[in-house]
Amino acid sequence: MTHDEALTRLSDFLYGNLPRDEHQSITLMLETDSELRRAYEEERLLDGLLRTQEWIHVRPDFTTRVLAHAGLPVPHGETVLEGFLERLSAYAPIGTFAVVILFYGQAIVPRLWSMWRGVLDWTGTAIGVSTLPTSPAFAATSLALLAVAVVLSFELGRRGQSSF
Amino acid sequence: MALAEDELLRRLRRSDARAFAQLVDYYKDMVINLIVRMRGIAEDTEDLAQEVFLRVWKGLPEFRGDAKLSTWIYRITINLCIAEGKTARARAQFLPAEDVALWSHPSMHTEAGNPYSEEAPLKARLARLIPQMPEKYRTAVTLYYLKNLSYFEIGEIMDIPMGTVKSYLFRGKAWLRERLLPNEPTVERS
């Protein structure tokens, strides 16, 4: 690596963003090249200064004034009931699903159960094992675990995409 | 504090004032600091920040969600700073950073730094230099160091490729170094 190439890579060197061979050759050059060493120290100094600039806070009533300028009512603090309703509305789809299951479970469960038995029988035949557990307790547990896994994966995926 | 962006957007699109208040609360310091780094501290800094949020509010129906909400807000802030800088170039005389009155603007206060540290004069000179940088270098350097944004995010805000962001950062720092540390002896820091 030439002196000029090393100069252009000092920022990446500072953050350890270089491949190992380039990192090592700059490390070696720094021991002998005084101009490069000086540039590196300047890079470190400037970087530190840029990262630690003053942080300014606005007045606490800034938000209120922005809302007033936008012609919006200034919201009061959220009441317990409002908070509860807001959270409730966020869970409305899954709540609806739960209600449907509660009301129509009696009709749906036997059909799901026979489908589940069919799947287990088919899987057992396919892999040559005839002793797969088929008890209602096993089926209920595995279906519940499956449902929890699906809900969790959707929820985690949603949060991963939307949080910032 | 982290906000669930899609939930917040859903409420904002319903013109929920509380959601807008939440958004302003979350971004106000970031927007103010972005403006200050881009233009230096000026009397109208808060007015400009207010204008940013009004544009966000008015622009929400057209916001399609292609970019992150934060990216969109930073883009509005940068564009407003640049437009304001162009219209007010004649009067764009930034106050010297070492002027004590500068930091005691009634609407803002800074986090307490040590004014007697060795680096304090350099920091003051840096604060004065940044608003004088060429616009594209200033934008890249400000976004990179203010919020630790990635090259990709800066590219999205400035609408340029990542390679160009890297180049602007490199040249921007070189520009600053030339003016800030022209004959500075090497500083050995542990």
pLDDT digits (tens, 9 = 90+) for B145-164: 987 788 899 999 999 999 99
pLDDT tops 90 at residue B137? yes
What pLDDT does A91 receive?
A: 75
pLDDT tens, residue by residue, B57-78: 999 888 887 788 889 999 999 9
- A34-51 helix and B162-180 helix, angle to the nearest 10 degrees: 100
Higher pLDDT, A98 or B83: B83
Q: How many residues are there in chain B?
A: 190
Subunit contact A162:B6, Cβ cutoff 8 A: yes
Do the Cβ atoms of A48 and B190 come closer than 8 Å? no
Residues B48, B126: one domain? Answer: no
Higher pLDDT, A46 or B5: A46
Return the number of CB contacts < 8 Å for A and B: 137
The token duo for A33 is 């090249």
Q: Please report whether residue B28 resides in a domain.
A: yes
Q: Work out the pLDDT band at B92, boundaries 50, 70, 90.
A: very low
Q: C-alpha distances in angstroms, A121 versus A125, A130, A134, A135?
A: 6, 8, 9, 12
Q: What is the distance between the alpha carbons of residues B19 and B42, in angstroms, rounded to a whole number? A: 29
On chain B, the residues whose CB falls within 8 A of the CB of A15 are none
**In a 10 Å sphere around its CB, with 0-12 CB exposed, 13-18 middle and 19+ buried, how is residue A59 labelled?**
middle
The token duo for B184 is 């500075």
Q: What is the distance between the alpha carbons of residues A3 and B57, in angstroms, rounded to a whole number? A: 51
pLDDT tens, residue by residue, B95-110: 444 443 333 344 444 5
**Span B119-127, average pLDDT:** 85
Q: CA-based Rg of chain B, rounded to a whole angstrom?
A: 18
On chain B, the residues whose CB falls within 8 A of the CB of A158 are 6
The token duo for A27 is 């490390």
Q: Work out the pLDDT band at B87, boundaries 50, 70, 90.
A: low
Give the range of the structural domain holding residue B140, as residue numbers without chain letter. 118-181
What pLDDT does B187 receive?
A: 45
On chain A, the residues whose CB falls within 8 A of the CB of B186 are 37-38, 41-42
Q: What is the distance between the alpha carbons of residues B116 and B104, in angstroms, rounded to a whole number? A: 17
Residues B57, B134: one domain? Answer: no
pLDDT tops 70 at residue B89? no
Element (H, E) at A105: helix A92-127
Subunit contact B184:A57, Cβ cutoff 8 A: no
**Span B75-85, average pLDDT:** 90
DSSP 8-state symbol, B188: P
pLDDT tops 90 at residue B3? no
Residues 6+ apart with CB under 8 A from B68: A164, B5, B153
- The full set of domain ranges for chain A reads 3-51, 80-162
Subunit contact B18:A75, Cβ cutoff 8 A: yes
Residues B75, B139: one domain? Answer: no
- Residue B122, SS3 per DSSP: helix
The token duo for B155 is 């590219």
Residues 6+ apart with CB under 8 A from B125: B97, B180
Please identify among residues 78-137 of chain A the ones whose CB lies closer than 8 Å to any CB of chain B.
78, 90
Residues B10, B55: one domain? Answer: yes
- Could you write out the three-class secondary structure of B3-56? CEHHHHHHHHHCCCHHHHHHHHHHHHHHHHHHHHHHHCCCCCHHHHHHHHHHHH
What's the distance, CA A102 to chain centroid? Answer: 32
Residues B89, B38: one domain? Answer: yes
Q: Is B17 in CB contact (< 8 Å) with chain A?
A: yes
Q: Please report whether residue B107 resides in a domain.
A: no
Q: Please report whether residue B52 resides in a domain.
A: yes
DSSP 8-state symbol, A163: B
Per-residue tens of pLDDT for chain A, all 164 residues: 888 888 888 888 888 888 888 898 999 998 888 888 988 898 889 988 888 888 888 888 899 899 998 888 876 666 667 667 766 777 777 777 777 777 777 677 778 778 878 887 888 788 777 666 667 777 677 778 888 888 877 777 655 544 33
B87 min Cα distance to partner chain A (Å): 23
What pLDDT does A82 receive?
A: 67
**Considering Cα of B24, then B29, then B30, then B32, what sign does the dihedral take?**
positive
Subunit contact B53:A70, Cβ cutoff 8 A: yes
The residue type of A97 is: F
Q: What is the mean pLDDT of chain B?
A: 80
On chain B, the residues whose CB falls within 8 A of the CB of A90 are 7
Residues B40, B123: one domain? Answer: no
What pLDDT does B94 receive?
A: 47
Residues B88, B46: one domain? Answer: yes
B129 min Cα distance to partner chain A (Å): 11
Higher pLDDT, A96 or B50: B50
Subunit contact A49:B28, Cβ cutoff 8 A: no
What pLDDT does B102 receive?
A: 37
Overall domain count for chain B: 2
Residues B68, B133: one domain? Answer: no
The residue type of B20 is: F
Q: Please report whether residue B112 resides in a domain.
A: no
Q: Please report whether residue B149 resides in a domain.
A: yes
What pLDDT does A15 receive?
A: 81
Q: Work out the pLDDT band at B20, boundaries 50, 70, 90.
A: very high
Q: Please report whether residue B109 resides in a domain.
A: no
Q: Is A15 in CB contact (< 8 Å) with chain B?
A: no
For residue B164, the domain's CATH number is 1.10.10.10
Do the Cβ atoms of A57 and B29 come closer than 8 Å? yes
